[in-house]
Structure 1
Amino acid sequence: MKKTIILLTLVLVAQVGLGIALNMNRQQMAPFRPTALLLGFEPGVVDMITITGADKAGIRLVKKDGRWILPDYYQFPADQEAVSTLLDTLAGLKEGWPVATTRDAAVRFRVAKDDFERHIVLLHDNKPVADLYVGTSPGFRKVHVRVAGSNDILAVRFSAHDAGTGATDWLDRRFLAVDEKKIRKIVLPKFTLVRKDDSLVLTDLGSDETMKKEPVGSLVSRIAGLRIEAVLGNREKPDYRQDKPKLTITVELPDRKRVYTFSQPEKEDWYVLKTSDSDLYFKVAGWQLAPLLDARRELLVRKKEEPKKETAAGRPEAQSPGDPGRSTAGGGSKAGPEGTR
């Protein structure tokens, strides 16, 4: 009897212990839902983003008057689409299951407070709405992450490269782009194009010439869609050699005229650009300027083809037997009476 009581007691203790263990395990597992959002914020409320890299260097993006700018980079406009894509991507990250939860693992996966690949903080009115550490990559476009204040390390679909830490990763490279349909006139060193109906044509186009649509369209698109690589500053430097321009282009729009002055520093393959409507100096890649430097009038026009004369029957007029240059069956030519034997 005594043995039976002891045995039943042990069974009861085991059942209670198992119940407690299962309940604790369920409590630990409950928050980790594969479909739950990791950060839980609304992209529209974010008005500041800070991104810090492994070297502790980083950038700030601030929303001003509804537009994202780089406040520490000449107040320059940011690429609005790129910022929106980042926020939407972060907002859509799923929580998933943790791959580790210890402090040692945080260091190993590089999501620790002082050791990370990226530290991204999203703010509203200077208060964080999301705080994320980005670390090592377990596979293509996947990274380990940890939300600040949590020990859970997760693998999510993201890339540290999507959160660049340099201003040039975020600046609006199309800052100088214009709508080519609104261009009224383009003045280059060797020729001038003016708007005529829906096209830009040479001002000195001859009556026997016609424009080549493809090269003209390509030239206009290159000027209208010019992209910058970086902002060099707002002060001229002798190294820029703006006093010895390689190319000057004037573009007239309905509301303004812009003069582009391109120069090239010594031993560099890129160019410095200064426009008349900005106090900033820009860096432009050499490949963008090469076609503009090579632009020549003769590449944009062709001679009109003379229409063939037709007979009354509608056929091309045939050469008479006495016409100069008339070919014989043997491949020779007859030149009047002297060619007859």
Structure 2
Amino acid sequence: MTTEASLRDWRFGSIQAERLCAGLLQISGYSDVDPQAALGGPDGKKDILSRRGEGLFIAAVYFPPTQPSFTTIRKKFVRDRKGVEPNGASGFIFFINQYLTVGQRAALRAAGGPDDEIFHLERMRHLLDSPIGYGLRLEYLRRPMSAEEQAAFFSAKRQDVIYQLLRNAEVADQIWNEGRSAISQLNTSELMFIHRTMLASNPQVVIGGQLRGIQTTVMGAQGEQIFTPPPPHEIPARLAELLSWWRSAYVSATKTDPDTALDLLARFHHGLVSIAPFLDGNGRLARLIVDQGARELLGAGVTPDLVSDRVSYYAALREADDSNFGDLVALMRAALER
């Protein structure tokens, strides 16, 4: 059953509905999310309390098991919204597991206040079918995650996407060597798989895991052309050479000092983005791998601060073109988690 159908034809009861909606508030940026009486009893016209900024919001959850008329939905909205004033709330959040047209949503907002929010069927479906919502979908709709969805989910939650990916039974036989680091034995097929997984959260992207088949250019921070990567027919050989060096150097780096490990990570990062083996996501892929490498070798990940100053970042890459890695190492050191 699809996410849409599971929500629309709800069969899991009011307790699970309220707990699901509390989770949706949490991943939508609300704080202090507090379900009131999910297990029964009076709730004072508020299923859930939460905050957005300084404002207090009350939420009502309406998950009928069969499709009601819009008149019934509107009456429910108006009735439940009466809890705003007695609870000293700034606004009202209405969860409805049914499809609402744009006009129907506008009609509900007209019956409420300027800060009210409506979580209708399509909005909830979108959240649950996004990486940040996969966990809620699994728990409350009982829909398992695919291998790619698992990796996207853990990436969205800033957990180690590669570690979670490699623990998945469907791919473990392909890319797990017992007792060895997940990335210390990286080869081209594994790199392609990680790239495909990294881009899996965007359904519009169809190039994940496919080596670049056309010539391209890399643009700088100001939109200027700063680099032309090698032509497509050279990519397989260059990748094989880079990854062969990486596997050998990684073993040595486990027995050396932090400065040498940072130099290794900087050289790999530069090598991968210089080859630019994919049409999109080369920088993200390089940062993902060096982040994991830094966690294993240095005990601290590499934050997005590495590329926050795009001018300095691209200048460091161009210096590295001439085997001067000092600036890139300095940026990487500054970006380590504190």
Question: Which TM-score applies when normalising by structure 1?
Answer: 0.24
The structure with the largest helix share of the pair is 2
The structure with the largest strand share of the pair is 1
Question: Which TM-score applies when normalising by structure 2?
Answer: 0.24
